[in-house]
Chain A
Amino acid sequence: DAGVTQSPTHLIKTRGQHVTLRCSPISGHKSVSWYQQVLGQGPQFIFQYYEKEERGRGNFPDRFSARQFPNYSSELNVNALLLGDSALYLCASSLAGSGRTEAFFGQGTRLTVV
């Protein structure tokens, strides 16, 4: 069975540009969450979606947005990129969104803003 897949794996963007990151959860999983990990830190929560509805939002500016599609895949969009947005973006999938089930992470997308 395929695990959580994220695309692209690496990305270089210029300040002010827009970026879209994609995530496909494990088959049967209905919850997708996004996390940002800067070097040397633990991942920080950005969004959670369950059954195509936003269930939680972390302390990130409105430049960050996300959505979940009918097939449960998800996109994370970041507008007006800043140098500080450079990070590893991680997607996690789980069966339910309640925290009672195990979270599985993808390999991440490394975003570099120059």
Chain B
Amino acid sequence: KQEVTQIPAALSVPEGENLVLNCSFTDSAIYNLQWFRQDPGKGLTSLLLIQSSQREQTSGRLNASLDKSSGRSTLYIAASQPGDSATYLCAVWSRGNEKLTFGTGTRLTIIP
């Protein structure tokens, strides 16, 4: 059974700092890994999708890496801004499953 863990559960950093969010998963047989952003009470916004054959993906100030063999992914946010404050969720689609398995998220607060 796939399990996804995100540590830390919450993180506060001053504006302008670079930061890294961590995601780990127990079963390396995955199709892809996706990072999402969720604002309070809202739906999920897809940030980056990494296919199992890829090592990283970049979009603007965001960079996500994937090490499938060790079951780890990181989301790097450069030059953080107050607007980056949100909960960040990672999710994996495991082979043989018909669903995304989510972590519980990291609640990020950027301090102006």
Contact = CB atoms under 8 A, between A and B. Distances in A.
26 contacts: A40-B104, A41-B104, A42-B89, A42-B103, A42-B105, A43-B44, A43-B91, A43-B102, A44-B102, A45-B101, A55-B98, A92-B44, A92-B100, A98-B31, A99-B32, A99-B97, A100-B51, A102-B34, A102-B46, A103-B34, A103-B100, A105-B43, A105-B46, A107-B42, A107-B43, A108-B42
A73 interface: no
A90 interface: yes
Interface residues of A, number: 29
A64 interface: no
Interface in B89-112: 89, 91, 93-95, 97-105
Interface of A: 4, 6, 33, 35, 40-45, 48, 55-56, 58, 88, 90, 92, 97-100, 102-108, 110
Interface string B15-58: 00000000000000001101010000111111001010000000
